[in-house]
Amino acid sequence: MLDSSGERSNNYLYCGDEVAEGFVVPYESVAIPEIHHEVTILKTRQVCVKGISYKVGDVLLLTFADEPEFVKITDIIVAQNRKFFICIHLNILSFCSHMNSFSVEECSNSVTVEVTSLVYKWPQIAHAMDGGLFVMLYNCDEVWAL
């Protein structure tokens, strides 16, 4: 029930998060205020947190106020067992009722999201088609409000 330092283990009944092979990056290359400069920073392409797999290129639903706010994962950073996603915002162009999805495009705004702060944990269903990207809402109760 304790980890190697004698503290309470967070993984006692949980096998732990899975982190795909990655590489160490310098502190200066990652602009995440929550990370201290003496910490080893790993950049990877995929992580699995509490059974949910995330990879670079996945689309996440950040919020759902008047309309959904989508972001696309561009980098995955691991530091001190904390997982961060560097994401770019996706602008909603329109809603395609035939495909039951939102037509989106990438914009230049970026945001850093810690996995534990996600309200909607599951990556959304995204399809590239005809040069565009279409995102369906998945595991989101607010979909019925549309």
Q: What is the pLDDT of residue 129?
A: 86
Q: What is the pLDDT of residue 22?
A: 87
| Amino acid letter for position 145 | A
pLDDT tens digits, one per residue of 51-62: 899 999 999 999
Band (pLDDT 50/70/90 cuts) for residue 89 is very high
CATH (domain of 141): 2.30.30
Q: What is the pLDDT of residue 142?
A: 57
- The number of domains in the chain is 1
132-136/41-44 β-pairing: unpaired
Distance CA 73, CA 49 (A): 15
Residue 12 falls inside a structural domain: no
pLDDT tens digits, one per residue of 8-26: 776 666 677 888 898 888 8
Full residue range of the structural domain in which residue 125 is found:
18-145
Sign of the dihedral through C-alpha 24, 30, 33, 37: positive
Residue 2 falls inside a structural domain: no
Residue 13 falls inside a structural domain: no
DSSP state of 37: T
DSSP state of 124: B
Q: What is the mean pLDDT of the chain?
A: 86
